[in-house]
Structure 1
Amino acid sequence: MNLNQLFCEMIQYYRNDPKRIQHFTKVHSYAKLIGELSGMQGEELLTLEVAAYVHDIGIKVAEEKYGSSNGRLQEQEGPAVAEDMLGRMHFDEKIIRRVSYLVGHHHTYDQIDGLDYQILVEADFLVNLYEDGVTKEAVMHAYNKIFRTEHGKRICAEMFGIEE
């Protein structure tokens, strides 16, 4: 149940795919920061951090099975892979269940049902908006429609030069 062990396991999982390793590393960093600034701690923060590391774990299976890494396929294929990995690593069953749910919904933005879910989505957006090189208009749309936490909004605004 060690986050550094999970980090190393995910690096091994994405062996020879530095883009995916860089992505989950950055998402974890922002999720942890926003979570801690929002007052998360203990099991709640641990669940968020675990979810941030494994949120895109379904990409490999989706690409192998369907030749695509689209969000719906990630949500479909990811939970079973995450459950298997986290179970082998002896994470608590409650954490595995919630992480599995988050992995299976992290591209579904109209069903956000908790602070962990909201922060995971915001952290993923912070990284994707940059990595995808989207327009200022797309950033503004995400800022207005996706970001809800005080700290996520502030980081997004500062990162992309949005006047709040």
Structure 2
Amino acid sequence: MKQIGELIQEMIEYYAGDTKRISHFLKVYAYAKTIAELEGLDKEAREILEVTAVVHDIGIKVSERKYNSSAGNYQQIEGPLVADPMLVKLGYDRAFIKRVCYLIAHHHTYHNITEKDYQILVEADFLVNLEEDKASEETIRNVYRNIFRTETGKAILQNVFKIKTTV
């Protein structure tokens, strides 16, 4: 596995001065890494997921400039275009970058999720967004029922938000 620290450093420079965005991707990375390890993802899938977790919102700056919006659909359009050259510069191979860019381009699309790395990325991002957005208990329960699929992600959500859930 390449040194993820180099990518994290690159992203901190990319978001220089924007502590909210830096904290966001670091939290998503930590949750994604934890869920992936506990769900038994293989080494290659974990590496792709961890890199994607770090860069998943990379399109937000361009989206705000270009569309005056940070909406997820714009991030999905612009993110791969920003991530690709950064990952090339850091020495990731083309097939790896293609998968990372696919995940960036879909991380706000919550239907037809069939791959575990994709599912875990969505869960990790939701864990952070629910906290950052100060989501209501009802919203958290709905996300648990409708979005979360991994046992690890469900357990983390229940413990972080101290909620009892029934499906």
Instruction: Please state which band the TM-score falls in when normalised by the shorter chain.
Output: over 0.9
Gaps of 5+ in 1: none
The 1-side partners of 2:61 and 2:93 are apart by 25
Residues 1:137 and 2:138 are matched in the alignment: yes
Give the aligned partner of residue 41 of structure 2: 40
Amino acid at match of 1:37: L
SS at match of 1:27: helix
TM-superposition CA deviations, 1:97-143 (whole Å, max 9, x none): 00000000000000313000000000000000000001100000000
SS at match of 2:143: helix
Give the aligned partner of residue 116 of structure 1: 117
**Which 10-residue stretch deviates more, 8-17 or 84-93?**
84-93
The size of the alignment, in residue pairs, is: 164
> Cα distance, 1:66 vs. partner?
1.1
Alignment of 1:83-162 (within 5 A): 83-162=84-163
Q: Percent identity?
A: 54
The 2-side partners of 1:113 and 1:80 are apart by 24
TM-superposition CA deviations, 1:67-105 (whole Å, max 9, x none): 110000000100111111101111121210000000000
The 2-side partners of 1:137 and 1:43 are apart by 36
Task: Write out the 4+ residue segments of structure 1 that deviate beyond 3 Å after TM superposition.
Answer: none
The 2-side partners of 1:159 and 1:2 are apart by 29
**Which 10-residue stretch deviates more, 23-32 or 78-87?**
78-87
The 2-side partners of 1:154 and 1:83 are apart by 33
> Cα distance, 1:159 vs. partner?
1.0
Gaps of 5+ in 2: none
The 2-side partners of 1:97 and 1:40 are apart by 19
> Cα distance, 1:33 vs. partner?
0.1
> Cα distance, 1:41 vs. partner?
3.2
The 2-side partners of 1:23 and 1:95 are apart by 23
The 2-side partners of 1:111 and 1:56 are apart by 21
Amino acid at match of 1:19: K
Amino acid at match of 1:63: E
TM-superposition CA deviations, 1:53-76 (whole Å, max 9, x none): 000000000011111100000001
Give the aligned partner of residue 49 of structure 1: 50
SS at match of 1:108: coil
Instruction: Give me the TM-score of the superposition, normalised by structure 2.
Output: 0.96
The 2-side partners of 1:111 and 1:105 are apart by 10
